[in-house]
Amino acid sequence: MHVPDGFFDVPVSVGAGVLAAAGVAASLRGAKRELDDRTAPMAGLVAAFVFAAQMLNFPVAAGTSGHLLGGALAAILVGPYTAVLCVTVVLLVQGFFFADGGLTALGVNITLMAIVTAVVGWAVFRLITRGAPRGRPALVAASFVAALVSVPASALVFTVLFWLGGTAPIELGSVAAAMGGVHLLIGIGEGLITALTVSSVLAVRPDLVYGARGMTKALTLRTAEGEVQVGSAAPEAPSAGIGLRPVLVGGAIVAVLLAGVFSFYASSAPDGLEKVAADKGLSAQEKPHAVEDGPLADYAVKGVENERLSGGLAGVVGVALTVVAGGGVFYVIRRRGRDSDGMTPAGAQ
Amino acid sequence: MSAGHHHSIYRPADTPVHRLPPQCKLAAVVVFAVCVVATPRERFWAFAVDAVLLAVVAAVARIPAGLIARRMVIEVPFVLFALAIPLIGTGERVQVLGLSLSVPGLWAAWNILAKATLGVVASILLAATTEPRMMLLGAERLRLPRLLVQIATFMLRYLDVIVDQMGRMRIARESRGFVARDFRQAPVLAKSAGALFIRAYERGERVHLAMLSRGYTGEMPTIRDISATGRDWVTAGVLPCLAAVTALLAWSTT
Amino acid sequence: MTSRSPSLKVTRLAYAYPDGTQALYGVDLTIERGERVALLGPNGAGKTTLVMHLNGILTAGHGTVEVAGLPVRPDTLREIRRRVGLVFQDPDDQLFMPTVREDVAFGPANLGLRGAELDRRVHDALERVGMLDAIDRPSHHLSFGQRRRVAVATVLAMEPEILVLDEPSSNLDPASRRELAEILKSLDVTVLMVTHDLPYALELCERSLIMSEGVIAADGPTRALLADERLLAEHRLELPYGFAVPAQPG
């Protein structure tokens, strides 16, 4: 999944680099707020864990195996800011020390694998757990969906970047369909592994799971008048650290940046894009899509004359679809969770 | 992809390339990669020049071709992708050995293969001639955020410790007859992953205590610093400058 | 702060963890300058909790800790952490820097030392534990015994008033165990050593404390304490099979 050099043209590589730098800068600030002077050792150890976990091969079917990408998992375990830092460091180390992933593609790789997966994973996780019944089943289900959505979301952003500055003459529709389809499958694996891992940590040290903070049960005092519930002494971090809003706002900014700034960038440097577009007939008017019936085939919005604008709209629509899909799943799980788990005492596991 | 992946490529030796300050090498390789990516794909000779440049660096650094070739395996997934582009690409088509290939697709495949290969070889040369510790110091000198460099420092320090723990868990699993055949065994593996996370996290807390015990107040002291002379920069600059000239010539002859 | 003050003075120290579990119930102890004292006790007796108070990682719920006359308080932490050298049980926790040199320099550098003075400290400390040859090696390439010696050097470089060691002999092979004992005997600093290794306590420490259920249950010459079978049994302490406390050497 590590994008090598030469895959994207210079403007997109640089643009993604700027985006990655901004995301990492924000995460540095955010992580420092949460972890204070513990940031360097804690994030370093978690980064080493992510690196090691990526080496753990999970058997999928006879003969084939998959491994974890870890962005969503890290976000749920240690919080989105720290997660972005950890995965970024893993990518930097892989790029510079192991020659894995192109150096000019570092911006793209960090954007796709660190920022998008952690932010989308965390946003979905929070959407589902907010207001859902407290307890392990809801957290584990939320982890599954969060990791599941994070992978195709990352693939979707890849497709947008590819449309902006990819160097290969493949139809956007086929790229989107291929990337989306393959990554939906990968996402299922990622979701299962993430959910199982979160579940196993919750069973032993629920206090370490960032996404489960504030889920601890109130303490009971036995007094003369009967039992009194008091707040737990444990820190309620997500409220103090990250609410849902900054994550959503951040996600929106990323989406707008991708759809807006990049299209502008690309149009001001028409060379690469124009050529690719001319070569392969990117727009819907010139050539019908090869996979007309695919779910993501009609990626460019029909009826919009300007192909660049149309693609930009398509990107925004894609982002919106992801959010809606995630929201729908969240709604269902929340409803079901309320019905079945209402009686489960929190933290009883 | 797991076996040996975490072992550093670094090859200790005493050559002019090894001796260069890390910040110079880092900057040189990044600029080189940018120049390569910016070179128009129609100019085959330009990529040949870049390849020769890297070969010269490898010779000076006495890095055996076999090591570079072995490490280039990391490129394979994208080579496969690149090879598929002419098949699925659009546009004008040609017949080669009975296959119908897209002409722009062939260009794209060549573009990715050439640039990715040059980039990966440059990275391998950097990693093979620069001690990991030096690389971090160089990154810090290049004004990469200090906190990020510190995180990477801790990560590299504890990577082996954690990978070893993972290996011991694997042995413990297998010595009790566990074989991972299909996804039904995933919960067991996930338990290992969870346990690994808990251990990593707890170690992070203990390391932080150890740091506090020795007077840590949130700032890592700079104990080692490496300065580069003008000469170092000039030496390191030869590679990216030649690549830049090559790219410019390639553009001007378009 | 006079030179007469004991190295360590703990008075009526009590502590409960944030979750409510109380670990210390009023610890009193005094260690004079130059003494080597063993702190013995079963798991869960509160030994580690006590150690964490000695350099202010945990803050006393009640009572005081004084190091060479200086009380442990938020505003004295910096000086306290220079005076109390804590050696952790797992050297991998303590050796977090990429090379031995940087690890040993970390503490004194935090005290503001730089340049030649810093180098001198690093050299001296490594020399005292016999690890000067390894100065530029990455610490994770050393053997376990070597790592523990470097861990001792990392705190010696801060020129501490008192050295506090958590299970110094654990996981060491017999030769490394003996080498470390020789190093500890050669140092002229006050030592407090938390251990389950009773023969090691006997070899290195004239005096021992037995901690049990959050208080100091016994305090006396190591030889006398270890000879008292009833006392040992009462606090779940056992001498290794076949080991008899030797008679006072001549």
Query: In the beta sheet, which residues pair with residue B143?
Result: none
Domain assignment present for residue C145? The answer is yes
Q: How far is A42 from chain B (nearest CA, A)?
A: 5
Partner B contacted by C208 (CB < 8 A): no
Q: How many Å apart are CA C11 and CA C80, to the nearest integer?
A: 17
* Same-domain status, B77 and B21: yes
* Same-domain status, B69 and B162: no
* pLDDT on residue C33: 94
Which residue on chain A is closest to C20 by alpha carbon? A233
A233: pLDDT strictly greater than 50: no
Structure tokens given for C156? 């010696």
As averages over each run of 10 residues, the pLDDT of chain B (254 residues) reads 54 92 95 93 92 96 91 79 79 80 86 91 94 90 91 92 90 84 78 91 91 87 82 93 93 80
Q: How far is C77 from chain B (nearest CA, A)?
A: 8
* pLDDT on residue A336: 45
Among candidates C90, C110, C138 on the partner chain, residue whose Cβ is nearest the Cβ of B216: C110
Of A212-221, A272-281, B166-175, the range with the lowest mean pLDDT is A272-281
A16: pLDDT strictly greater than 90: yes
Q: What residue segments make up the domains of chain A, in order of their start? A: 10-231+241-341
* pLDDT on residue B203: 92
With cut-offs at 50, 70 and 90, classify the pLDDT of residue C151: very high
Q: What total number of domains does chain C contain?
A: 1
When pLDDT is averaged across residues A111-125 and rounded to a whole number, the result is 94
Domain assignment present for residue C174? The answer is yes
Residues 80-99 of B with CB under 8 A from A: 85, 88-91
With cut-offs at 50, 70 and 90, classify the pLDDT of residue A311: very low
* Same-domain status, B133 and B153: no
pLDDT digits (tens, 9 = 90+) for C225-234: 999 999 999 9
Q: How far is B20 from chain A (nearest CA, A)?
A: 16
* Same-domain status, B151 and B197: yes
The torsion of the CA quartet C101, C103, C108, C109, rounded to 10 degrees, works out to 90
Domain assignment present for residue C242? The answer is no
When pLDDT is averaged across residues A196-214 and rounded to a whole number, the result is 87
Q: Do C19 and A41 touch (CB under 8 A)?
A: no
Question: Which residue reads 């959505």 in tokens?
Answer: A149
Residues 244-273 of A with CB under 8 A from B: none
Domain assignment present for residue C246? The answer is no
Query: In the beta sheet, which residues pair with residue A61?
Result: A64
* Same-domain status, B132 and B160: no
The torsion of the CA quartet A273, A275, A281, A282, rounded to 10 degrees, works out to 0
Of A242-246, A296-300, C109-113, the range with the lowest mean pLDDT is A296-300
pLDDT digits (tens, 9 = 90+) for C101-145: 999 999 999 988 988 999 999 999 999 999 999 999 988 889 999
pLDDT digits (tens, 9 = 90+) for B86-111: 887 777 888 887 788 888 888 888 98
A263: pLDDT strictly greater than 50: no
* Same-domain status, B133 and B158: no
Q: Do C88 and B136 touch (CB under 8 A)?
A: no
What is the CATH T-level fold of the domain A10-231+241-341, as seen in this structure? Arp2/3 complex 21 kDa subunit ARPC3 (1.10.1760)
- Using a CB-CB cut-off of 8 Å, the residues of chain A touching B216 are 37
Partner A contacted by C96 (CB < 8 A): yes
Which CA distances in Å does A119 have to A27, A69, A147, C110?
Answer: 11, 14, 11, 36
Q: How far is B138 from chain A (nearest CA, A)?
A: 12
Among candidates A61, A103, A208 on the partner chain, residue whose Cβ is nearest the Cβ of B123: A103
* Same-domain status, B157 and B191: yes
* Same-domain status, B73 and B169: no
Q: Do C78 and B203 touch (CB under 8 A)?
A: no
A219: pLDDT strictly greater than 90: no
- Using a CB-CB cut-off of 8 Å, the residues of chain A touching C78 are none
* Same-domain status, B121 and B245: yes
Q: What total number of domains does chain B contain?
A: 2
Domain of residue B153: give its range: 145-213
Partner B contacted by A9 (CB < 8 A): yes
What is the 3-class SS of chain B, one letter each residue? Answer: CCCCCCCCCCCCCCCHHHHCCHHHHHHHHHHHHHHHHHCCCCCHHHHHHHHHHHHHHHHHCCCCHHHHHHHHHHHHHHHHHHHHHHHHCCCCEEEECCEEEEHHHHHHHHHHHHHHHHHHHHHHHHHHHCCHHHHHHHHHHCCCCHHHHHHHHHHHHHHHHHHHHHHHHHHHHHHCCCCCCCHHHHHHHHHHHHHHHHHHHHHHHHHHHHHHHCCCCCCCCCCCCCCCCHHHHHHHHHHHHHHHHHHHHHHHCC
Q: How many Å apart are CA A282 and CA A264, to the nearest integer?
A: 17
Give the mutation candidate from B137, B212, B213, B216 for the C interface (greatest C CB count, under 10 A): B213
* pLDDT on residue B184: 73
Which residue on chain A is closest to B209 by alpha carbon? A38
* pLDDT on residue A185: 82
- Using a CB-CB cut-off of 8 Å, the residues of chain A touching B211 are 41
Chains that touch B (3 or more CB pairs under 8 A): A, C
Residues A155 and A113 sit within 8 Å (Cβ to Cβ): no
With cut-offs at 50, 70 and 90, classify the pLDDT of residue A258: low
Reported ipTM: the value is: 0.90
* pLDDT on residue A229: 57
Domain of residue C17: give its range: 8-234
The CATH number covering residue C219 comes to: 3.40.50.300
Which residue on chain B is closest to C76 by alpha carbon? B215
Partner A contacted by B209 (CB < 8 A): no
Higher pLDDT, B16 or A130: B16
A225: pLDDT strictly greater than 90: no
When pLDDT is averaged across residues A274-288 and rounded to a whole number, the result is 36
Residues B196 and B169 sit within 8 Å (Cβ to Cβ): yes
Chains that touch C (3 or more CB pairs under 8 A): A, B
Neighbours of A308 (CB within 10 A): 21
pLDDT digits (tens, 9 = 90+) for A143-199: 999 999 999 899 888 888 888 877 777 777 777 787 778 788 888 888 988 999 999
Q: Do A52 and B187 touch (CB under 8 A)?
A: no
Q: How many Å apart are CA A101 and CA A84, to the nearest integer?
A: 17
Q: How many Å apart are CA C26 and CA B221, to the nearest integer?
A: 38
* pLDDT on residue A282: 36
With cut-offs at 50, 70 and 90, classify the pLDDT of residue A247: low
Q: How many Å apart are CA A275 and CA A297, to the nearest integer?
A: 22
Q: Do B208 and A42 touch (CB under 8 A)?
A: yes
The whole-chain average pLDDT of chain B stands at 87
